[in-house]
Structure 1
Amino acid sequence: MLKHTAISLIALTAATPALAQTSSLGDDIVVTASGIEQPRDEVGQAITIVDAKTIEQRQTIDIVDLLATTPGVRFNRNGSTGGVTGVSLRGAETTQTLVLIDGVKVNDPSGIGDGYDFGHLLTGNISRIEVLRGSNSVVHGSQAIGGVVSLMTATPAEGFAANASAEYGYSDTLSTKADVSGTAGRVSGGIGAAYFRTDGISSAAVGTEKDGYKNFAGNARLKVAFSDALSLDLRGYYINADVDFDSFFGAPADSGDVAKLNQYVGYAGLNLGLFDGRFTSRAAVTYLRNDRDNYFVRGTPADYGYKGTNLRFEYQGVVAPVEQAKLVFGYEHERPDYDFFGFGSTATARANIDSVYALGIVQPFTGLSVTGGVRHDDHSQFGGATTFGANANYSPNGGATNFRASYGEGFKAPSLYQLYDSFSGNAALRPEQSKSYDFGIDQSLADGRAQLSLTAFLRNTTDQINYDNATFTYGNIDRTRAKGVEATLALRPVDALNLSASYSYIDARDRSGRPAFDGKRLPRRAEQAISVSVDYDWSFGLSTGATITMVGDSFDDAANNVPLDGYALAGIRASFPVGEHFEVYGRVDNLFDANYATAFNYGVYGRAAYGGVRVKF
């Protein structure tokens, strides 16, 4: 049924008629494609933007629930809010998704595969998300095999601005946030905080004990322009989280396990522009620290824990001798560190990675933009890795139609755990490598009131790291292939009505040659997913909306013996302004109380209602 629905959606988007002529919605600016700001119609890669208006309108708490409405994204969550959560792009491993917060790489060096746990990342004061799909290690280095998820907090307002909100709902859930920002002369800055608390649900699907969760997130920005050419940029992000979870082996059951996280993210950069902006430089130091402690019983000393840090130095230069050409080049040095304690032992490991890259962006004639680049990374353990990438965007009609094509190579360095763990580590591991191709078309109709995008993609990954049961160590034993199509549709037939829809088909399979797994679908990656959102602004101030997301069948294991049934989720929402600065809002998630699973034997939320207030100045 899902397949027929998806085909019908594509047919509908392809047949969308031209609507009444009106003003253009304007060009979007993206950063993740090349590491610098570019109009999206100069980029040949597939990128989805979730802006501040959408984040506020959807009322979503978990970042992954927003990501799930974009094409090419699949996720799995271990039970209650705060449970371990992974995001897969175009069928890649969750550890092959590179994650940035305000430009800082936040993948955890203390994780088994350096993945990022999205379970503690709530919308809070996040104001923009860019999702780049496809390999792009030329710009971003290790882990950008499936793609990149870049999250940004709000830039400081001109003058002064303040915002706050509070909501309450199902399972004694309280969510609050506030931020203030402003600009005075050459100094601008802002600070924000968000707090979330819930009794949650049982992480074990058959459990009866609720697993609670608390999360505090803070962010700050400061920019000082010493002159028109020189500025200092400081950014910080912090997460403190405390989650109860059920740890079970075999039959699922309630347990008293607790996990606590402290995550520190920092950025300090100097920006210099010379020759009327034709040469710009950025030198920055970034820092990530993840402290993760685990307890079998709350109130006792930590039984085991991990600390992962990553100190990076970045230099980026941009030369634009003419308006039609740019050269982006840079050097990066990073030092990931890993520390473990527990069960009567400790472990420490670290590495050094030095990288250089260059990227050329040219527009040989009106309507055509071509980008190509190369990167070399030198790892202190396994040596060097060189990656290439190129993309092109051509518009014959001033941006109304864009033809896109891209080729990207990706690599992922072995994690410190995979290299150096005393029981299963393998110091001879090679980096995972990928080659990614895609071709797409974007069509804008009726001065931007209707926008359609279609993309086809293929990715081959070799030397993928997995646990080798023959040697009881990690090895480069996997090969995988993913191919598929993505479609998005945005309609605004009248100013008051907005509709957005996305569809993706992903065929991600094992190509390792191992008899038990070869040809099998990769686990927890449904082939098909559709999401449709509709919002309407009534003349008397009320705003209403609904989102329906349908996800197809998948498997929980690599041998495809444990099925996960497909599901459909519906949610409704509304908001109403009271005066100029005040607004009340509410939503109902999982409206029809669907019973489903994104990970076998883990619980999910049923129908849940929430209501809140917002104030803005």
Structure 2
Amino acid sequence: MPLFLADTPAAVQPPTVVVTAERAPEQRERTAASVSIVDSKRLDRLGEPLLSNVLRLLPSVAVATSGPAGSITEVRIRGAEANQTLLFIDGIRANDPAAGNVPRFELVGADLADRIELVRGPQSALWGSEAIGGVIALSSDAGASPQLSVEGGSFGFARAGGRTNVTQGNVSASVAGGVQRATGIDSFGAPGGDKDGYANLALRTRVEWRPSDQLTFAATSFGVSGRSAYDGYKDFVHADTADVTRNRLGAIGVNADWREGGWQVTASASILASRNRNLLAGDFVNQTAGERRSVGFQLARELTTGAVHHRFILAGDADKERFTASDAVYSGATGQRRSRAHEALTAEWRAEAGPLTTDMAVRRDAFNRFKDATTFRGSALLSLGRGWALTGSYGEGIAQPTFFDLYGFFPDSFVGNPNLKPERSAGWEAGIRYASGPVSVRATIYRQRLHDEIVDVFLPTFQSTTANATGTSKRAGLELEGEWQLSPTLRLAANYAYLKASERRDALDRPVQELRRPKHSGSLVLDGQKQRWTYGASLALVGDRRDTDFDVFPARTLTLKGYWLAGARIGYQLNKRVQLFGRVANAFDRTYQDVVGYRTEGASVDAGLRIGLR
């Protein structure tokens, strides 16, 4: 996504910096990685309450929500599984260890981020486990405009939130948060069914102290809390039930950074905790809880030898995870108390020599529950002149088995497999780019292979378990992206992605199309500002997908029809501080499903008020 400021001439734009494509921040045009960025202006102008709706607009991102807004939301990048996406929030690893190591996008409101960064492709050589499909980083921006806002509209939707920042001498602080709720719709659609709504609360803070130009200390935190009603299963069949899930996820992190004469030393530590509690008609059913304690250290050195500029990085990371589970339905039979630990060492070398930039990284992960793993990544960018560049990279990824995959137990349906191995992925990509003034275009092809994929296996006892597949799953695709600053008051971004993703559980099986992944997807996004008006609009294409219907026996695989999803927001500045705005979602009133059996909302209209604090 473009980062041009809509009210600033393109010729004076500052360089766009990415933070997860390498172990140190780098200018976007000087990294070979496939990166998409959404800045605070675009987030404000689109006005989406949940960030999953913004992620849907990025290349090769498939979003599947099991019902109306606030329901379980899976995000898949380049055909990877939902737990093969790594999420950072203000630099803290945020995948939930108590919920299958997936990012909890159903809880992540737009108030939690001023900026979104997406790096596609395997990145485990830099960031470790779960970075198979890609990495998503949400971050706060001290330059984002302080504001308060309230809005409400269709389906009982209401939202209030804000952000502010302050600087006093060498200390700066920022805080943002918001609350939102909706009564929703009946996701099952039975006559007389109850509505399945949600309520979310999000808060984030950052405090930074710079006692000198060389030294910086920072403390960050975030927390999300949510309640979502959903329709579950009764007698093994999807039904209109009174299920409710209550979720909490929070973290705090600290880091110190010292820079002097080409050297940089960074140390960090964080604690993340989560709890997921399920109820039926108000009665406790089961609960999971997780905790992750992490520490990290990084040493970087920049120097020049002849015509080559080098950057060397050596980083060490360690974490320990805890997982607990309990229930009321099975008299505690599903109870678990598990823990695991791991350490990692990463080395990265980046070199720039005229038009050529190369980057190589290798990482060794040592697990106390699995076999150790080594991953590698190498990339190159060659500038051809006149705005043209060629890129290429090779990367490897791993994903640990989840605690549930290993130890989960439901007497009537599931038993875990403690002998699982981590999933392994490897792949390459190649691209060509053009950027000149207000226009940039990118085309990328990629191919990945997934080994030891963790799949469900059905047992003669009518239970299921998990196992590492002996076959190889294949993912390949094409991405086309364009960005255009039409004028100082309007910017436009468009993308199209083709994906071919097949799963092969056994080496002798025929490959079958992966579920919930459209072959064709894309989006068109525009936003801008002119005098008193601000505006943003989006159009997302989600192509046909395959999914499994478990409400019949035997279960059958069917095709979910593709759809177009349109949204828009327009604001009018009454005076220097006060803005009135209106927003429409699913403007074409499309009837669609992301997951078999779960309905989604039709067209909706909201209106609100935004107050600038400066």
Superposed pair shares fold, TM > 0.5: yes
Corresponding residue for residue 52 of structure 1:
40
Match of 1:452 among 441, 450, 454: 441
Corresponding residue for residue 602 of structure 2:
606
Displacement of 1:22: 6.3
Match of 1:297 among 261, 281, 297: 281
CA distance change for structure 1 residues 233 and 543 in 2, over 3 Å: closer, same or farther? closer
SS at match of 1:138: helix
- 5 Å-filtered alignment, 1:68-147, equals 68-111=56-99, 113-147=100-134
Match of 1:241 among 226, 246, 254: 226
Residues 548 and 571, structure 1, Cα contact 8 Å, conserved in 2:
yes
Corresponding residue for residue 550 of structure 1:
541
* Inter-partner Cα distance in structure 2 for 1:256 and 1:143: 33
* Inter-partner Cα distance in structure 1 for 2:580 and 2:80: 40
Residues 391 and 407, structure 1, Cα contact 8 Å, conserved in 2:
yes
SS at match of 1:437: strand
SS at match of 2:419: coil
Corresponding residue for residue 491 of structure 2:
498
Determine if the alignment matches structure 1 residue 261 to structure 2 residue 247.
yes
* Inter-partner Cα distance in structure 1 for 2:112 and 2:104: 18
Residues 206 and 603, structure 1, Cα contact 8 Å, conserved in 2:
no
Displacement of 1:266: 1.3
Letter of the aligned partner of 1:509 in structure 2?
S
Give structure 2 stretches of 5+ with no counterpart: 1-8, 550-554
* Inter-partner Cα distance in structure 1 for 2:203 and 2:101: 23
* Inter-partner Cα distance in structure 1 for 2:448 and 2:87: 20
Corresponding residue for residue 589 of structure 1:
585
Residue deviations 1:545-591 (CA, integer Å, cap 9, x gap): 43221211111139972211111122232111111122111111111
Residues 156 and 190, structure 1, Cα contact 8 Å, conserved in 2:
no
* Inter-partner Cα distance in structure 1 for 2:159 and 2:506: 48
* Inter-partner Cα distance in structure 1 for 2:336 and 2:112: 36
SS at match of 1:493: strand
Letter of the aligned partner of 1:233 in structure 2?
A
SS at match of 1:23: helix
Letter of the aligned partner of 1:417 in structure 2?
F
Corresponding residue for residue 289 of structure 2:
307
Match of 1:380 among 341, 352, 368: 368
* Inter-partner Cα distance in structure 2 for 1:546 and 1:188: 34
Residues 46 and 527, structure 2, Cα contact 8 Å, conserved in 1:
no
CA distance change for structure 1 residues 192 and 493 in 2, over 3 Å: closer, same or farther? closer
Residues 41 and 402, structure 1, Cα contact 8 Å, conserved in 2:
no
**Which stretch shifts more, 336-345 or 349-358?**
336-345
Residue deviations 1:440-466 (CA, integer Å, cap 9, x gap): 122113x1x221111101010000111
SS at match of 1:119: coil
Residues 95 and 143, structure 1, Cα contact 8 Å, conserved in 2:
yes
Residues 42 and 527, structure 2, Cα contact 8 Å, conserved in 1:
no
Displacement of 1:251: 4.9
CA distance change for structure 1 residues 514 and 205 in 2, over 3 Å: closer, same or farther? farther
Displacement of 1:155: 2.8
Letter of the aligned partner of 1:263 in structure 2?
L
Displacement of 1:418: 1.9
Residues 156 and 188, structure 1, Cα contact 8 Å, conserved in 2:
no
* Inter-partner Cα distance in structure 2 for 1:228 and 1:534: 39
* Inter-partner Cα distance in structure 2 for 1:366 and 1:557: 52
Residue deviations 1:38-71 (CA, integer Å, cap 9, x gap): 0012211101001111101111111111011111
CA distance change for structure 1 residues 520 and 421 in 2, over 3 Å: closer, same or farther? same
Residue deviations 1:183-214 (CA, integer Å, cap 9, x gap): 11111111222010111122224463111211
Corresponding residue for residue 344 of structure 2:
355
Match of 2:299 among 305, 311, 317: 317
Corresponding residue for residue 414 of structure 1:
401
Corresponding residue for residue 455 of structure 2:
466
Letter of the aligned partner of 2:245 in structure 1?
A
Displacement of 1:511: 2.6
* Inter-partner Cα distance in structure 1 for 2:429 and 2:556: 28
Corresponding residue for residue 480 of structure 2:
487
Residues 548 and 596, structure 2, Cα contact 8 Å, conserved in 1:
no
Residue deviations 1:129-175 (CA, integer Å, cap 9, x gap): 11111001011100101111111122367xxx631111111122111
Residues 478 and 499, structure 2, Cα contact 8 Å, conserved in 1:
yes
Residues 336 and 351, structure 1, Cα contact 8 Å, conserved in 2:
yes
Residues 488 and 502, structure 1, Cα contact 8 Å, conserved in 2:
yes
**Which stretch shifts more, 371-380 or 208-217?**
208-217
Letter of the aligned partner of 1:229 in structure 2?
Q
SS at match of 2:496: strand
Corresponding residue for residue 7 of structure 1:
none
Corresponding residue for residue 171 of structure 2:
187
Residues 156 and 189, structure 1, Cα contact 8 Å, conserved in 2:
no
**Which stretch shifts more, 27-36 or 595-604?**
27-36
* Inter-partner Cα distance in structure 1 for 2:594 and 2:90: 29
Displacement of 1:514: 6.7
SS at match of 1:118: coil
Letter of the aligned partner of 2:116 in structure 1?
I
Q: Identity across aligned pairs (percent)? A: 26
Residues 196 and 214, structure 1, Cα contact 8 Å, conserved in 2:
yes
* Inter-partner Cα distance in structure 1 for 2:419 and 2:227: 37
Corresponding residue for residue 315 of structure 2:
330
Match of 1:172 among 139, 156, 180: 156
Residues 65 and 71, structure 2, Cα contact 8 Å, conserved in 1:
yes
Match of 2:523 among 511, 519, 531: 531
* Inter-partner Cα distance in structure 2 for 1:507 and 1:332: 35
CA distance change for structure 1 residues 401 and 87 in 2, over 3 Å: closer, same or farther? same
Corresponding residue for residue 440 of structure 1:
431
TM-score, length-scaled by structure 2: 0.91
Match of 1:64 among 39, 52, 55: 52
Match of 1:512 among 499, 505, 508: 505
* Inter-partner Cα distance in structure 2 for 1:283 and 1:544: 41
Displacement of 1:534: 2.9
Corresponding residue for residue 5 of structure 2:
none
Displacement of 1:36: 1.4
Corresponding residue for residue 203 of structure 1:
187
**Which stretch shifts more, 204-213 or 258-267?**
204-213
Residues 205 and 604, structure 1, Cα contact 8 Å, conserved in 2:
no
* Inter-partner Cα distance in structure 1 for 2:89 and 2:161: 18
Letter of the aligned partner of 1:612 in structure 2?
G
Residue deviations 1:26-45 (CA, integer Å, cap 9, x gap): 42100111121100122111
Letter of the aligned partner of 1:220 in structure 2?
T
Residues 532 and 548, structure 1, Cα contact 8 Å, conserved in 2:
yes
* Inter-partner Cα distance in structure 1 for 2:525 and 2:259: 42
Letter of the aligned partner of 1:68 in structure 2?
R
CA distance change for structure 1 residues 267 and 22 in 2, over 3 Å: closer, same or farther? closer
* Inter-partner Cα distance in structure 2 for 1:544 and 1:263: 33
SS at match of 2:365: strand
Letter of the aligned partner of 1:313 in structure 2?
V
CA distance change for structure 1 residues 218 and 455 in 2, over 3 Å: closer, same or farther? same
* Inter-partner Cα distance in structure 2 for 1:421 and 1:256: 24
Letter of the aligned partner of 1:500 in structure 2?
A
**Which stretch shifts more, 389-398 or 86-95?**
389-398
Residues 10 and 485, structure 2, Cα contact 8 Å, conserved in 1:
no
CA distance change for structure 1 residues 156 and 567 in 2, over 3 Å: closer, same or farther? closer
Letter of the aligned partner of 1:611 in structure 2?
A
* Inter-partner Cα distance in structure 1 for 2:225 and 2:104: 13
Letter of the aligned partner of 1:483 in structure 2?
A
**Which stretch shifts more, 226-235 or 506-515?**
506-515
Give aligned pairs, total: 583
Letter of the aligned partner of 2:488 in structure 1?
D
